[in-house]
């Protein structure tokens, strides 16, 4: 395959800067058609991004003869439905995070793509960002000795827009823990190892929407490291970070903020810059394109995305029950 031609289902806000431009700026990649339920907005996106075609019909993207791979950027409630159609069409798929409403849907998606022997990727783009590749190198090099624990926190203020679909579990699958908290759990899977045991508690403390707003968790990694996490979206401030503690030091990295990595060892503190690229999805898109062209491997797959969904299901069980 000389060039990978993409179609987008759901060219909303996330596509404007974070993901959309990556499909036509990555090497050997182009964007052929975009879809949004509002056809006028789809046409406007296409015009501003120099995309040849737009539509309000997802099937026109999936079955387009000049589309080799499909990016699904809709809310989670439609991820599984669209992905199964893409699999039936025999095309590779790149689906937004969280991969689906729950782990059960993830397994359904994985099985569909496996049956067609075509790849499924998930938009946990932090796996390809310079910051997290640097943290992975530091951990592998033993910069803090033997890694013994990891602690992740994310704080945010209670939403003043409770009618947003992101707080409606019937559309989003859960609350902000599933939406943005998934990024941190996935990057822990990438940097440490898969989480094999997890438990947690979730509550709604603000009463402004149906979803949970505070979640805590404890987990064990396949490699024998232990971890804890707290995602509090009813706090008085915003913050996000992962702290890796080892026998000889500590690494702190933001999950979302574009700030420095902090390495502490021997009583000294070192700041390491690894800024984000302009379009944060582009490095992962490039990895997908390279793999589809037989020139590399993408490390964010349906299998890895499903592992993160499984962990989140375990953390949310006290609030939603079996998902």
Q: Domains in the chain and their CATH numbers? A: 4-125+280-299 (3.40.50.720), 127-277+308-320 (3.30.360.10)
Q: How far apart are the C-alpha atoms of 245 and 223, rounded to whole Å?
A: 14
In whole numbers, what is the pLDDT of the chain averaged over residues?
Answer: 97
User: Which residues pair with residue 226 across a beta bridge?
Assistant: 149, 220
Largest CA distance in the chain: 60
Average pLDDT over residues 162-168: 94
pLDDT band at 1 (very low <50, low <70, confident <90, very high): confident
Of all residues in the chain, what percent carry a pLDDT higher than 70?
Answer: 100
Instruction: Give the model's pLDDT for residue 292.
Output: 98
Of all residues in the chain, what percent carry a pLDDT higher than 90?
Answer: 98
CA angle (24 as vertex; 182, 35 as ends), nearest 5: 70
Provide the edge-to-edge strand list for the sheet that holds 239-246: 195-203, 214-221, 226-232, 147-155, 239-246, 249-253, 261-265, 268-272
Least confident of 74-78, 91-95, 161-165: 161-165
Three-state DSSP at 232 gives: strand
**pLDDT tops 90 at residue 160:** no
Per the CB < 8 A criterion, the answer to whether 7 and 32 are in contact is yes
How do residues 304-319 score in pLDDT, each as one tens digit?
999 999 999 999 999 9
**pLDDT tops 80 at residue 104:** yes
Per the CB < 8 A criterion, the answer to whether 225 and 233 are in contact is no
**pLDDT tops 80 at residue 208:** yes
- Element containing residue 23 per DSSP (H, E): helix 20-25
pLDDT band at 239 (very low <50, low <70, confident <90, very high): very high
How do residues 52-74 score in pLDDT, each as one tens digit?
999 999 999 999 999 999 999 99
pLDDT band at 322 (very low <50, low <70, confident <90, very high): confident
Average pLDDT over residues 34-57: 98
Instruction: Give the model's pLDDT for residue 320.
Output: 97
pLDDT band at 263 (very low <50, low <70, confident <90, very high): very high
What string of DSSP letters covers 31-65? Answer: EEEEE-SSHHHHHHHHHHTT-SEEES-HHHHHT-T
Instruction: Give the model's pLDDT for residue 323.
Output: 76
Three-state DSSP at 186 gives: helix
Phi, psi of 133, deg, nearest 5: -70, -35
**pLDDT tops 90 at residue 261:** yes
Per the CB < 8 A criterion, the answer to whether 245 and 149 are in contact is yes
Instruction: Give the model's pLDDT for residue 197.
Output: 98
CA 40 from centre of chain: 28
Distances (CA, A) of 149 to 29, 145, 182, 219, 261: 40, 12, 19, 10, 17
Per the CB < 8 A criterion, the answer to whether 9 and 63 are in contact is no
Average pLDDT over residues 228-233: 98
Instruction: Give the model's pLDDT for residue 187.
Output: 98
Residue 134 is encoded by which pair of tokens?
């640097």
């Amino acid at each position: 395959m000389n060039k990978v031609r993409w179609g987008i289902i759901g060219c909303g806000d996330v596509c404007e800067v974070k993901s959309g431009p990556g499909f036509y700026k990555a090497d050997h990649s182009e964007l052929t058609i975009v879809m949004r339920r509002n056809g006028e907005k789809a046409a406007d996106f296409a015009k501003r991004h120099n995309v040849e075609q737009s539509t309000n019909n997802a099937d026109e993207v999936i079955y387009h003869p000049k589309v080799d791979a499909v990016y699904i950027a809709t809310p989670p409630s439609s991820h599984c439905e669209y992905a199964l159609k893409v699999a039936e069409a025999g095309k590779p798929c790149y689906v937004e995070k969280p991969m689906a409403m729950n782990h059960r849907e993830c397994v359904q998606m994985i099985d569909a793509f496996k049956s067609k022997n075509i790849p499924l990727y998930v938009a946990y783009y932090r796996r390809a960002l310079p910051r997290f590749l640097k943290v992975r190198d530091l951990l592998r090099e033993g910069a803090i000795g033997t890694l013994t624990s990891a602690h992740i926190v994310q704080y945010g203020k209670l939403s003043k827009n409770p009618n947003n679909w992101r707080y409606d579990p019937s559309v989003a699958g859960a609350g902000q823990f599933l939406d943005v908290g998934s990024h941190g759990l996935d990057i822990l899977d990438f940097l440490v190892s898969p989480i094999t045991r997890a438990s947690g508690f979730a509550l709604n403390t603000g009463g402004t929407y149906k979803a949970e707003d505070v979640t805590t968790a404890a987990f064990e990694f396949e490699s024998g490291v232990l971890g804890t996490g707290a995602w509090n979206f009813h706090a008085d401030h915003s913050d996000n970070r992962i702290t890796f503690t080892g026998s000889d030091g500590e690494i702190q990295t933001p999950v979302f903020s574009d700030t420095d990595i902090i390495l502490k060892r021997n009583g000294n503190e070192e700041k390491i810059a690894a800024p984000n690229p302009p379009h944060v999805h582009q490095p992962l898109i490039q990895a997908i394109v390279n793999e589809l062209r037989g020139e590399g491997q993408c490390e964010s797959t349906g299998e890895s995305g499903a592992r993160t969904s499984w962990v989140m299901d375990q953390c949310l069980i006290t609030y939603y029950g079996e998902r």
